[in-house]
Amino acid sequence: MKLTYWKRYDKVFKYFSSKKIYEKILEIVKMLGEPFKKKNNKGRKFKINPDEYTALIAFKISSGDDYRDMEIDSELYVKEHIDHSTFGKIFFRIPYDYLRKLLQLTGLMLEDLLRHAKIHIPDSTKLSTDRYKEIIYRGKRRRVKETFKLHIIVQRHPKRKMTIIMDGLSSDAHVSDAEGAARMSHVMHEGDICEADRGYDYEKVYRACAERRVRTNIKQQNKENGKGFRYRKKAKFHKQAYKKQRGIVETRFGAIENAGLTLAHYRTEETRFKYGLLLAFGQNINNLLRLGVEKLSIFMY
């Protein structure tokens, strides 16, 4: 008996406790190796290993918890009481590139389970913080929230009704959608199709796709294909195919919004960027758990 999306989602919580989810994340972290090492032999030893810190922080942050929540629950996961300030210091030490590789690894694990799909869709969303800054807008001072962006590229599996986040990156608000897509184009293979809205209708996206022999189906803006548009002017747009794919990637961001995770409380730009990556990481972990539920369900019916 095939389970519906929501039944699979509900069964995740019946089969996987918080402790089991943490242990699953720890397995993945260990596959990637230790994120950092103690600088020297001076000072206190770590209460737990760096990979255990990383797995617990990744799990709790992607679930919407803060450092104090981590302190309260720490003994449930690692049998040690760890101060919330320690989690803050450790999170600062985990490299941004390590967390991006962790996200990419979960994407590859999902791809291995579902097999490679050709459709890839890039998108981005704005995340805000609880910090404010002053700007000059139309000659007047204004106080606005500091914001940053989360860029992702998903692989679509329509038969399984699932999308995989193959890569992601965080940036300040000035990095364009097109630039983000170009930086993540390495996840696409020859013969794949890049479906995107008009925010990606720029030469750098077409060039990045052409270099990997990836076809494009990008909704074009009303501008001429003049000089400097070598790849764009060769591109074709198929409206019906675009409509079919449109809105798929928004479901990933919708899940983040519904969980109330679009507001970051971190002070520094680096920790905000890492927070964005962990939101994407959490989406892949949920998909891995759902696939695990499907396998378990085979033996129930």
State pLDDT tens for residues 228-278. Answer: 678 888 888 888 888 777 667 777 777 787 777 888 888 899 999 999 999
Report the pLDDT value the prediction gives residue 262, as an integer from 0 to 100: 83
Structure token digits, residue 142:
């204004």
Q: What is the pLDDT of residue 87?
A: 95
pLDDT attached to residue 300? 38
Amino acid 156: pLDDT: 93
DSSP string, 158-183: GGGTEEEEEEEEEEETTS-HHHHHHH
| Residue ranges of the chain whose pLDDT lies below 70 | 1-13, 40-41, 43, 223-228, 246-247, 295-301
Secondary structure element (H or E) that encloses residue 125, with its range: strand 119-137
The pLDDT score that the predictor gives to residue 73 is 95
Alpha helix stretches (DSSP H) within 94-175: 96-114
CA–CA separation, 123 and 152 (whole Å): 6
Which amino acid, residue 102?
L
Give domain limits for the chain: 5-94, 97-292
The CB density around residue 243, as the number of other CB atoms within 10 Å, is: 10
**Residue 286 burial (10 A CB sphere; 0-12, 13-18, 19+):** middle
